[in-house]
Amino acid sequence: MNWVEIDGSYGEGGGQILRTSVALSVITGKPVRIYNIRANRPNPGLRPQHLHGILALKELSNARVKGAQVGSTVLEFVPGKARAKHVRVPIKTAGSVTLVLQALLPAMAFTGGSFEVTGGTDVPWSPPVDYLRNVTLFALEKMGLKVELEIRRRGHYPKGGGLVTGRVEPWEERKPLKALEWSRIERFAGISHATNLPSHVAERQAKAAEERLRELYGVPVEIETELSRSLGPGSGIVVWAETDKLRLGGDALGKRGKPAEVVGGEAADELIAQLTPGKAADRFLGDQLIPFLAFAGGELGVAEVTNHLVTNVWVVERFLGKIFEVEGEIGEPGIVRVVKRAES
């Protein structure tokens, strides 16, 4: 069999290599073999949160899979015919819903379909669901991809229990994204939430972020507050800047003993740091858009060229050949250009 071979310890060496590799295997129909999975991490091999994305893509494409178990350092994925389906992903823990969707959305763009994912919606080391919905999906819509996403219930660490549902329309018209620098901030917006906690937690997070942003930029700031019930307590805030190009985001999670004002201030400060270089996309959006940019084309200015971004470019090019040109050093602002658009 003609495998695409992927070294899972390359570059950033984390779960993103798995998510992008398996999504591209489904899109291109090419079987993939990933070895050295997370080899340089304290607990090498597949973790439960990675398995959920792989199994969702297995279901979408009727794939044959070998090595899909916790601790495995080699995975073989042979896709079948991908078609529109309703994909259910029941994560029993607070495993990240958004990381599963990072694997599923690029592949579902080519089939259409719907999804239902339970797990953690607002958990450490992964994009909060409000960021995905309001920043990432906003950029994808500019590229012609329509995704509806509904947050039915929040899920925090350690219990999870969040529920996110949605639908992906087949990506008919792939529009190149040309967004290098922003020149104007129209407004700031955001969502501050508290689950199984008093309302003042969400309000204080919102007020701290609002004051910080208004003081610096003098444009309208509208941060909604949301109260909800779920399996366990938690809070968080996502803020974004609506510019003349895209949206840039910042976020923070609450935790026991951390004042709500500190949480709101952290999210605002992260957003300010992403706005400062003047590029159209923040550091997190840059790497999330790589698989989509490969097929849509265009050029994107990023607040920071991250190791995640460079690794994702490498994975995409293992499947599709030379697609990108990245200007800028890791840790610095830069530009990602599509030099040859991929055909699907």
pLDDT for residue 48? 86
The annotation status of 122 as a binding-site residue, yes or no, is: no
- Tokens matching residue 3: 């495998």
Q: Can you give the residue ranges of every domain in the chain?
A: 4-178+281-338, 182-275
Question: Do 188 and 239 meet the contact criterion of CB atoms below 8 Å apart?
Answer: yes
Active site residues: 308
pLDDT for residue 136? 98
The annotation status of 287 as a binding-site residue, yes or no, is: yes
pLDDT for residue 275? 98
Phi, psi angles (nearest 5°) of residue 28: -90, -15
The annotation status of 286 as a binding-site residue, yes or no, is: yes
Tell me the angle at which helices 283-296 and 97-108 cross, rounded to the nearest 10 degrees.
20
Residue 307 clears pLDDT 90, i.e. is over it: yes
Specify the pTM. 0.97
**In this prediction, what percent of the chain has a pLDDT beyond 70?**
100
The annotation status of 49 as a binding-site residue, yes or no, is: no
The annotation status of 227 as a binding-site residue, yes or no, is: no
- Quote the CA–CA distance of 106 and 108 in Å, as a whole number: 6
pLDDT in tens, 124-159: 999 999 999 999 999 999 999 999 999 999 999 999
Assigned CATH topology for domain 182-275? Dihydrodipicolinate Reductase; domain 2 (3.30.360)
pLDDT for residue 66? 98
| Cβ-count burial 82-93 (b if 16+ within 10 Å, e if not) | beebebebebeb
Does 3.30.70.60 match the CATH number of domain 4-178+281-338? Answer: no
pLDDT in tens, 207-245: 999 999 999 999 999 999 999 999 999 999 999 999 999
pLDDT in tens, 42-96: 889 998 888 999 999 999 999 999 999 999 999 999 999 999 999 999 999 999 9
Angle 102-150-155 from CA coordinates, rounded to 5°: 75
Residue 344 clears pLDDT 80, i.e. is over it: no
